[in-house]
Amino acid sequence: MASLLTDPLFEISGIAPAPNKSFYYLGITQSEVIWRWWKISLRTSDRNTRPGELKESHMEMLEDARLQADIATVFGPEVLDHVKRLCQGQMNFLELLPDALLLRILSLLELEDVGQLMHTSRRFWKLCQSQEFWENAVRQRCSTLPDEVGALARHIGWRRIFFTDKIKLQLLVNRHRAALQEADQSAHANSDK
């Protein structure tokens, strides 16, 4: 399964917290950890400093306390924990999948399962609450979807449309249509003045 993953498995870059202004890059491939730094300083003694690079195997990184401290200082303890898990071979393959593919997978699940899945991670929470997911859910369960319902859904949200019964939905569509007509009439009245 790991052979199907693209390299790099993880990348992050950014400026170290103050007072350090240096720029750092961390990359994790299937076989090594790459740590790069570019010293940024106003001191004349540092002007000719060249960028640096350190490449270590996963095992070397797990034993290198200095590199681990640098990663934690620059990117935080959460990133360090994630990098350690990757180096130990504990990869969360779902986290590496693109959102579009995860939304497709979610569309194949029962709503009860989606309700359980959304409590497993922040990413799944966001995906299960997204407009794209609920639009797919509505379109999947409706053979035809009038344009007015689509317009209403873009206004009030696809999730609300999904959980609204047909009678209330028709009432909401009528109210939305009336509000649009009223806004249109008021725009015409203002343009006539």
The pLDDT tens digits of the residues spanning 60-84 come to 999 999 999 999 999 999 999 999 9
Per-residue confidence (pLDDT) for residue 193, from 0 to 100: 63
Do 53 and 114 lie in one domain? The reply is: no
Q: What string of H, E and C letters represents the secondary structure of the chain?
A: CHHHCCCCCEEEEEECCCCCCCEEEEEECCCEEEEEEECCCCCHHHCCCCCEEEEEEHHHHHHCHHHHHHHHHHHCHHHHHHHHHHHCCCCCHHHHCCHHHHHHHHHCCCHHHHHHHCCCCHHHHHHHHCHHHHHHHHHHHCCCCCHHHHHHHHHHCHHHHHCCCHHHHHHHHHHHHHHHHHHHHHHHHHHHC
Residue 1 has pLDDT above 60, yes or no: no
Domain ranges, residue 16? 2-95
Domain final residue pick, 95, 123, 146 = 95
Do 112 and 167 lie in one domain? The reply is: yes
pLDDT band for position 180 (cuts 50, 70, 90): confident
How many domains does the chain contain in total? 2
